[in-house]
Amino acid sequence: MGFLSNFQNYDSSYLLLQSAIALLVTASAYGLYRGYQVRSMFQSLKKQGIPLMPHSMIFGHLEVIGKLMSRIPSDAHGDYMMVLIQENWKELFPACSKCPPVLYIDLWPFAPPMLISINPDTSAQCTQDYSLPKAYQQKRTLYPLTRNRDVSSMEGAEWKVWRKRLNPGFSIQNITSRISDILEEVEVFVGVLEARAGKDGAWGEVFPLEEATTNLAMDVILRFFLNQRFHQQTGPRSPITAALLDTISRMYFYVNIFNFLSYISPWRHFKLWLNYRTLFNSLSPFLTERINEIQKNSQVTNKTLVDLLVKSMDEEKGTNGAAGDLSTNMDFLETAIGQITTFLFAGHDTTASTICWLFRLLEQHPDVLAKLRAEHDAILGPDPSQAAAALRANPQLLNALTYTNAVLKESTRVHTNVGTMRRGEPGFFLTGPPGSGPECEGKQMPTDGFVVWDGNFAIHRSPEVWPRPNEFLPERFLATDENDPLHPPKNAWRFFELGPRGCIGQHLAMVEIKLVMALVVRRFDIECAWDEWDSKRNFKGPRNMVWGDRCYQVGGDSPPHVKDGMPVHVRVIALDQSDAVLAMPSSPASTLAPRLPSTRLRDVVRGRRAVAHSSFSLGRFGLLINMICVERIVFSIVIFCMQVALPVNGSSMNYASVVFADFAGINVI
């Protein structure tokens, strides 16, 4: 009996080993086949005469991009890639007379085939003239947060219905009616800065500004949507914020052989499930209470996003019976919560970092700051402490702050931190625009099989689009004469994206940031304090820089953040000091030209770099070693086979199948 038992155990182990080997061989064969497919796509482009960077059938563009990205710090965000290519186009496209308007980039197996538009005309073709669907990688990324019940993930008729329902909540009229509420949260932010400032006009202790601006953005968004105060700026972190930030930290836009194991980790999926339940259970009571109040009392003032959604649904009820009791309609509740959480995700990051970059630019350009303060004196009154009262009494004053608006727009041009990604389609081509050079002008460039990325960061810094692109010139956005060389070209400013799927919350973000400027710039000096920050942390490492500045964009799969949260110190401005500002200039816009540091990549540390949101360092043979690492692949297969069935878009599809399909480049969502 003992011999039989040992034989059976041996037989079972042998079968398991055979199965593992079969899976390994199958996965390896498919990986080689998929790699050949991707590399062949780019070789086909080369045969069609489409400009490409030097491309290898083995390494694709991994070597080229790896060397390029080694010129900047290893923690710098992947968005710098498009700007580096644009700056070095003569080296990368020696046969071209101009920088190509479209960049085809092959980083497989670390990222899907990419097409980056760095020309406003080609970007308009895929977002405005025709709106390509969102990249399925984006839907996969948002799924743990919203179950894709959000306007960013929706397509077709469903997207049109929900965009129509949401539009009234984000209208300029509705946002203006909520300025008093937003001001209340901004006043708390002013109090936070005051508490951080030193006494008697001295500098306070160093702290990361981005943490404070993130809390402000969270308070504003939650107040705007729910008309509830969550006190994230002054109180402990709420379950909503904790769950949101933890989910964001576990999101992956690209899945590759380096993050595959962490991506499929059962612990990760448990935490994502737990965070989703926390968000739903925390937000649903506010929704159901407000819905019941509105549906029982038609006289309730419609002011929040939830109010306007219910109103829209009730209006639809008159034609197709759509509404009913929304407080018990789980589909409506899940979708409404999905909308709120995606706005929290998209809004807090970009708004928080934009405020940081704005103050950094004002610190670097005191003449712009002086003009800004002069405008606020003229429009809001000479007493900075009365600015909030003036805006409450007359919210339209915000529209009179034209220089403030120009400063904000120029700040978002210089430091762009978000760009839409779309999915290419069969039969849809980008056409090389006039002036793009004989190699590209009029040429049909395919999109099928590519993630189409609107490279607004590169567009905003392109010398072919913007005169003196690396200078901070708010006067660009004051120029009204189209013949003025500083006048922004058509489709060129794309911070919030253009076209039907442009950012629905852009007016809210602009109003919030302008209110921050109105209440802060005359009351405080805000200055980066890297020496104090290094001393506080006892930091002895290299002082990495991009474009000559220790403030640069960092991050992996998430939207970019400012390095170390932008450490600053703050001091209160004495009233007589804030009054001593320069008069508003009357000279032509083109004469007002404070210069930013040169955009040539100087004084940066050369080292390992995360290419396209993935951390890897590649020599010519390093990639092959990683790709054929048997231990890694076998372990991945074992984990892969152990995954449990989890719902995807309402189905019971095995989640491991979704992961593998995503890794293989197959769209299943």
For the annotated binding site for heme, the residues are 503
* Neighbouring C-beta atoms of residue 655, cutoff 10 Å: 16
Q: What is the DSSP letter of 264?
A: T
The strand pair at 114-117 and 207-208 is best described as unpaired
Q: What is the DSSP letter of 419?
A: -
**Which H or E run includes 569?**
strand 567-572
Q: How far is CA 351 from the centre of its chain?
A: 10
Q: What is the DSSP letter of 491?
A: T
State the Cα–Cα distance between residues 330 and 280, nearest whole angstrom.
11
Give CA separation, 42 vs 259, 446, 517, in Å.
25, 11, 47
State the Cα–Cα distance between residues 387 and 518, nearest whole angstrom.
7
The residues facing 56 across adjacent strands are: 60
Residue with tokens 């010519």: 620
The residues facing 444 across adjacent strands are: 431
- Residue ranges of the binding site: 503
DSSP-derived secondary structure for 601-641: --S------EETTEE----TTHHHHHHT-HHHHHHHHHHHH
Residue with tokens 């992961």: 659
State the Cα–Cα distance between residues 280 and 11, nearest whole angstrom.
49
Q: Is 405 exposed, middle or buried (0-12, 13-18, 19+ CB in 10 A)?
A: buried
* 125 Cβ contact list (under 8 Å, min separation 6): 430, 431
3-state helix, strand, coil in the chain (%, to 5): 55, 10, 40
* 558 Cβ contact list (under 8 Å, min separation 6): 248, 249, 251, 349
In this structure, the dihedral spanned by the alpha carbons of residues 485, 488, 489 and 493, taken in order and rounded to 10 degrees, is 150
Q: Is 18 exposed, middle or buried (0-12, 13-18, 19+ CB in 10 A)?
A: exposed
* 94 Cβ contact list (under 8 Å, min separation 6): none
The strand pair at 114-117 and 561-562 is best described as unpaired
State the Cα–Cα distance between residues 441 and 433, nearest whole angstrom.
5
State the Cα–Cα distance between residues 482 and 469, nearest whole angstrom.
17
Q: How far is CA 237 from the centre of its chain?
A: 23
Length of the chain as a residue count: 669
| Token pair in block for residue 563 | 């390095």
* 13 Cβ contact list (under 8 Å, min separation 6): none
Residues 437, 438, 443, 446, CA torsion sign: negative
Backbone angles phi, psi at 451, to 5 degrees: -80, 120
Closest residue by Cα to residue 447 from 113, 129, 91:
113
| Token pair in block for residue 510 | 């602009």
* 262 Cβ contact list (under 8 Å, min separation 6): 268
Backbone angles phi, psi at 265, to 5 degrees: -55, 130
